[in-house]
Structure 1
Amino acid sequence: MTAQALHASIAEAKPANSAARIATASFIGTAIEFYDFYVYATAAALVIGPVFFPQGSATAQMLSAFITFGIAFVARPIGSALFGHFGDRIGRKSTLVASLLLMGVCTTLIGVLPGHASIGLWAPVLLCVLRFGQGLGLGGEWGGAALLATENAPPGQRAWYGMFPQLGPSIGFLAANGLFLSLALGLSDEQFRAWGWRLPFLLSAVLVVLGLYVRLKLAETPVFAQAMARDDKARVPVVELLARHSLPVVLGAAAMVVCYALFYISTVFSLSYGVSTLGYSREGFLGMLCFAVLFMALATPVSAWLSDRYGRKPVLVTSGVLALLSGFAMQPLLSQGSSVGVTLFLCVELFLMGATFAPMGALLPELFPTRVRYTGASAAYNLGGIVGASAAPFFAQKLVAMGGLSYVGGYVSAAALLSLLAVLCLRETKDENLAAIG
């Protein structure tokens, strides 16, 4: 069958999944996954250090907590290879269910894990194991959600459909942050440290049941179903990916770095810095973050629409340049401790995160053929996280001690420059036929 005939047959087939079901299933999974992930990020900034690493200074506790935060990002590329293998050979639907289940179980178990005072060194060891499991789950989640959206999308609307999983982080962030804010307002500091911080982790179990209910009702994507009908599947997807498509993986990963850097510097590091150095209360800074993330949610559909209209590269280049310049604003806006300046910085950084993040839901899947698309898109997405996010709070803590906030702003600008160069090296994929990419 020619590529043109294949494309026509896919376009003429009645969609197995309605647009509403696609949007809900791709959105809800990433919302839950990022809720789970950001619950830990917030806890790492506020309480993980004293509970699991009580020895040493407050700075040492914070650094230890941020190291456990980074462990999950190391696990994510492994998760992308593991879940990508089954996603490319068995199907998108069953793999998405498994990744969501793993992430939710690990997050819930963190909520009941005893601290160092109860079980000694086993507490940080088990915490690291569960964080690794969280990373494995998230490593397989995003790629499947993005493929669910883009492989079901009508012609000319892949970025718009690919936006739905990109909206998940905003909602997950708001849910996690809003819950921590409510706990900060309703509990004393002693209650929060003793047991209150565990409640958001336990709530994950309820959210996972909801996500599983939605995803179990899905049918397989038409693009993947066509590939299976032709028996067009890789024997070992990760081997074929590395042998034939390693350059798109590297460039896609580098293009993702700025998204991660913007998000985790403006949330995890800024939260820690705002509470410990600028003197904000937990609830005060969390309130500013909840307001700022609305700008991320706003930028996501706007950027997706623009990338469908004008192309992925123009939108990513423009937002990348603005992100590079934003690094220079960090020191003047945060160093004074003004609420207006801090809120403005958070709004700008998270708006730019949404602008750089939204087109990636379509771009990364468009770089790879169907037979390795799950593995390839997941690998690029998660490898970018190692550079842009895994060590970002840790290095930012070190950089601010070495040279102040201007050094941390330089980190953001360097991440933006790396992503900008990668995007310039990529081909424009707006008009690519997913079924014909080879």
Structure 2
Amino acid sequence: MSTPNQSVASSTEMERDARLVSTDGHISPGELAIGVVIGRASESFDFFVYGIASVIVFPALMFPFADKLTGTLYAFAVFGLAFIARPFGSILFMEVDRRHGRGVKLTIALFLLGGSTAAIAFLPGYQSAGIWAVVALVVFRLGQGFALGGAWDGLASLLAMHAPEKHRAWYAMLPQLGTPIGFIIASSLFAFFYLNLAAEDFLGWGWRYPFFVAFTINVVALFARLRLIATEEYAELYESRDLTPVSVKELVANQGSAVLVGAFVPLASFALFHLVTIFPISYVDIFSNRSPGEFLLMQLGGAAICLVCILLSGSIADRIGRRTHLGACAIAIAIFSVATPFLLGGSSASQTAFIMIGFALLGLSHGQSAGAVASNFAGRDRYTGSALTTDLAWLIGAGFAPLVALGATSRFGLAAVGVYLLSGAVCTLIALRVNRQMRLRAV
């Protein structure tokens, strides 16, 4: 097995090329922040492209034998598979990291992520390939999730370690900016083609273009991240074991309770995540006469608000404390859950209010969710612990949220969505309290 120093020094040709760009081996905090945001934006873009297509493309293309509601439920079931695959990807790629270095791991993971997304663009429909079209969609969706587990690079932790004590929350929110950026790019592309092409042309070729773009975006993100992991700061942290992966068995034995509790801390934010991004598109498409393309344009405004609120979350949490901030956000989301059925089920104006308020709450809560998870672990366990805890949080809180929300709505009405969102807020509040007690016992 290679030593940490050897792992950093030896990797792919792309990593060596990236190292040449950093001629002095030093990266400023601003450059580090930009690299982290680019990485998160590329990952989010891949997943949002698939999520949007699950509503406006795959029900008709892959499940034409079912009605629109059932076809969308099938598409959402496939959507959730990536979140099951993600933890397994993390575990396998952690071993690649330990044996061959982070550059090799990232290169394989991001090419797999971009390749899986781009490959979907070439898929035939059910009418021409039958069940094999669906099988291929499942395989590539699993590839997306598996690769995303391997794309965890520890750069957000590196950024937090460079943060001044009084500005930890500000630095913690910077990686989260990639989420609304990825959504803005994905929804803009789909809205453009959906609104400017005939339905036949859109389903024939227009929907494929955003998936083509994914591979290029991932290559750019890969180079940006390889440039960062080739720096002196990263090498020093790697050698000091602050960013070295540990075995999952060892992590669970030492801090299994921290992983479990940490997975529930951001649940309010993660439950809200797909309930304001993907699920509303399906609700509008199935249960109203509103155009999904027009609705996507309206969501762009919500994503812009989310971007601003993520920035605000850093300033607010630095003043009142990260856990207090997350608790306040969970309470606000609980209140919002009560209003959800009335807003989303109302007029176009009330639906717009649902999106704008929902994205604002998402920005405030999501901006601090990752930092709260990472802070539960000591330096040695921080890298692996953060990765696995985040994987579990996405699986529990967000992976099947569109499927559950749409299925429950079709059977019980929008009140069920409010209950689902409320349960996430309650889980966050309980987890924050348990986490505080664990910290007090550890002192």
Give me the TM-score of the superposition, normalised by structure 2.
0.88
Q: Within the alignment, does 1:345 sit opposite 2:369 as a pair?
A: no
The residue that corresponds to 2:5 in the other structure is none
Question: Counterparts of 1:90-239 in structure 2 under 5 Å?
Answer: 94-142=104-152, 144-219=154-229, 225-226=235-236, 228-229=238-239, 236-239=246-249
Q: How many angstroms apart in 2 are the aligned matches of 1:287 and 1:264?
A: 17
Change (3 A) 1:101 1:428: farther
Query: How far apart are residue 308 of structure 1 and its match?
Result: 2.5
1:297: which partner in 2?
307
Q: Distance in 2 between matches of 1:343 and 1:288?
A: 7
Closer, same or farther in 2 for the Cα pair 1:88/1:26, shift >3 Å? farther
The residue aligned with 1:373 is 382
Given that 1:49 and 1:62 are in contact with CA atoms closer than 8 Å, whether structure 2 keeps it comes out as yes
- State the 1:89 CA deviation: 6.9
What is the identity, as a one-letter code, of the residue corresponding to 1:412?
A: L
Aligned to 1:312: 322
- Equivalent residue for 1:82? 92
User: 2:278 is paired with a residue of what secondary structure?
Assistant: helix
Q: 1:401 aligns with which of 390, 400, 410?
A: 410
Partners of 1:84 and 1:374 within 8 A in 2: no
Q: Deviations over 1:334-387 (max 9, x none)?
A: 222x22211111111111111111112322222123333222111111111112
Aligned-pair CA distance for 1:107: 0.5
State the match for 1:335 in structure 2: 345
Give the number of aligned pairs: 418
What does 1:18-33 align with in structure 2 at a 5 Å threshold?
A: 18-33=28-43
Give distance in 2, aligned partners of 1:95 and 1:159.
28
Once the two structures are overlaid, the 10-residue window that deviates more, 301-310 or 393-402, is 301-310
Once the two structures are TM-superposed, the CA of residue 159 in structure 1 deviates from its matched residue by 2.5
* Residues 237 and 372 in structure 1, CA contact (< 8 A), matched pair in contact too: no
Shift of 1:60: 1.8
Shift of 1:152: 3.6
How far apart, in 1, do the equivalents of 2:175 and 2:98 lie?
19
Aligned counterpart, 2:397: 388
- Structure 1 residues 423, 232: CA separation in 2 closer, same or farther (over 3 Å shift)? closer
1:422 and 2:431 correspond: yes
TM-score, structure 1 as length reference: 0.89
> Shift in Å at residue 140 of structure 1?
3.2
**Partners of 1:343 and 1:88 in 2: how far apart?**
48
Structure 1: distance between partners of 2:243 and 2:196: 53
Report what 2:15 is aligned to: none
Match of 1:50 in 2: 60
**C-alpha distance in structure 1 between counterparts of 2:383 and 2:117, whole Å:** 24
Residue 433 (structure 1) aligns with: none
Flag structure 1 segments of 5+ consecutive residues without an equivalent. 1-13, 431-436
Q: Contact 1:72/1:134 (CA < 8 Å) preserved in 2?
A: yes
1:141 positional shift: 3.0
In the TM superposition, residue 156 of structure 1 has moved relative to its aligned partner by 3.2
CA offset digits 1:196-225 (Å, max 9, x no partner): 111100011221221122122224577764
- AA at the equivalent of 1:375: T
Shift of 1:324: 0.8
**Counterpart amino acid of residue 401 in structure 1:** S
Q: Which amino acid aligns with 1:127?
A: L
Q: Secondary structure at the match of 2:163?
A: coil
Change (3 A) 1:402 1:18: same
1:30-67: per-residue Cα shift (whole Å, max 9, x none)? 10110010000000011112211222222221111001
Three-state SS of the structure 1 residue aligned to 2:228 is coil
CA distance in 2, matches of 1:119, 1:319: 47
| Alignment partner of 1:358 is 2:350 | no
Measure, in 1, the Cα distance between the counterparts of 2:300 and 2:61: 25
1:312 Cα deviation (Å)?
1.1
AA aligned to 2:340 is M
* Aligned Cα root-mean-square deviation (Å): 2.6
Q: Give CA-to-partner distance per residue, 1:171-219, whole Å, 9 cap, x none.
A: 0000000111111121111111111111100011221221122122224
The structure-2 alpha-carbon separation of the partners of 1:291 and 1:322, relative to structure 1 and needing over 3 Å to count, comes to same
SS at match of 1:153: coil
C-alpha contact 2:229 2:235 (8 A) present in aligned 1: no
